[in-house]
Amino acid sequence: MKFYNPVPGHGPTKIADTFGPGVRPGGHTGWDFRCPTFTPVVASAPGYVYEAGFLNVDCGWGVRVNSDGWPISYCHFTDGEVRVNVGDLVDYQTVLGLSGESGNAVYPHLHASWENPSGVKIDPATILEGEGWIRDGWVDPRDLSLRHNQWVLRKRGYYSGTLDGLWGPLTEQAVRDFQGTVSIARSGELDAVTLAVLYGRGKWSRRPGG
């Protein structure tokens, strides 16, 4: 069985996460492929659909396909944008749905995970084939949604409001507090300098192996 990138042309993000220990408790068992909302998500391998729709609060809307004993999960589709039904047979390139940020996602991406027939989650870097993916894809913080920035500020202890993606006094104060802590101008704006410090330029621009 060969496995291909479910969102051809898009690669794993460097912020959150590739496979392994990372920013999440318990590590990360798949890959987050950064891609714009409504990107068609295609089957990584042929198989049959055994779950489709709203899967759970983490995955949100998505699909699970059994590919020759390998359960593959595709998560965070746009609400309602699932294109297959339980029991459907899919082939390479069959569109499963449209990407988004439903469930526990704070910016548009596809979370996908591959489990071998023994139930062990496999690092996609070791099995994905073909040219349609970018190993060193990385995210420019200027492209991230305000919702994602609120999430990062909250993780760092500066923001206690909701992740609503709306600019308000709580968000502005969080930015100001962060700027004060790292000794840059307390403008209260997510300007280029603030974003570069918030995301740690060295971290998110790093290339694999570098």
Q: Give the residues lining the site for Zn ion (CB under 5 A).
A: 32, 111
The residue among 34 and 111 lying less far from Zn ion, judged by its C-beta, is 111
The residue of the chain with the least Cβ separation from Zn ion equals 111
What's the min distance (Å) between Cβ of 168 and Zn ion? 28
- Residue nearer to Zn ion on the CB measure, 14 or 111: 111
- Of the pair 17, 149, the CB lying nearest Zn ion is at 17
Length of the chain, please? 210
Structure tokens, 78: 């746009």
Nearer to Zn ion, 73 or 194 (CB): 73
Nearer to Zn ion, 51 or 88 (CB): 51
Using the minimum distance from each CB to Zn ion, give the nearer residue, 32 or 115. 32
CB of 139 to Zn ion, least distance (A): 13
Alpha-carbon gap, residue 188 to 186, rounded angstroms: 6
Q: How far apart are CA 210 and CA 177, in angstroms?
A: 32
Shortest gap between Cβ of 7 and Zn ion (angstroms)? 13
Residue 172 CB, shortest distance to Zn ion, in Å, is 29
| Cis previous bond, 177, omega within 30 | no
Rounded least distance, CB 201 to Zn ion, Å: 23
**CA–CA distance, 65 with 46 (Å, rounded to integer):** 8
Q: Give the integer Cα–Cα distance in Å for 153 and 171.
A: 9
In the complex, least distance from residue 11 CB atom to Zn ion, rounded to whole angstroms: 13
